[in-house]
Amino acid sequence: MKSKEDSLKYLEKFNIDDFVSPIKEYFNPWQIENELELRQQEKSVKKIIEILLNTDRIFTHGVGRSKLAVLDTGMRLMHLGYLMYEVGHPYQPAMGNDNRYKDTMYAASGSGKTTFVTSVATKAKENGVPIIAITSNANSPLAELATEKIITKGKEIIPNGQPIPPEHEQPINFLQTKSEDKARYIGNMLINYIAKAKGITEDEMRKRHSNVE
């Protein structure tokens, strides 16, 4: 890592073209890639929407940045009228044993191997709760546990001891950033479609937005 002085010297060469270059070099390509992935998984996407349309309560689950991605999606699902809970929150009720509600677990994990996520998914499945998973690993425990899943291409995981590819081959994709960004992007598309399917307007959603800010 460079010293603070050297970092500031690097900043002296700043130009906005370099700063915004990831939009074309990184963000646009992965969005196109994500579109192709979703087209190839059309049946799974439709089934996920069907599950959500038949759901009353949704339990979001993830760790780290994946958690932030599903919380982002979860907030908008709350605005759509769903009862939302975050797995692990002190106020989280039991899943799958309240006959008044139909429950679903909505989880994201790039590796699909995160122990906390897979252990909760195992319990959810034991309780008969459908599991929706967004992951970059089709052969992971989370993918196997999922009722329906969307598989996205994330960053190539380099085994320990092997050389890391040059930065330009995986720009900006630090520690699986692409996987987490795609999870958030997919969540927004699901929300958009469900809002149209339910005939919910932005004005209706706004009424559920926090009013203590």
Alpha helices in 112-161 (DSSP H): 115-126, 141-145
Supply the pTM of this predicted model. 0.88
Query: In the prediction, which pLDDT does 155 show?
Result: 66
Residue-wise pLDDT tens digits, 60-78 = 999 998 999 999 999 999 9
**Is residue 158's pLDDT more than 60?**
no
- Asked if 59 contacts 105 with a C-beta cutoff of 8 angstroms, the reply is yes
**Is residue 171's pLDDT more than 70?**
no
Domains defined for the chain, CATH in brackets: 21-154+173-206 (3.40.50.10490)
Query: In the prediction, which pLDDT does 24 show?
Result: 87
Query: In the prediction, which pLDDT does 35 show?
Result: 95
Query: In the prediction, which pLDDT does 105 show?
Result: 98
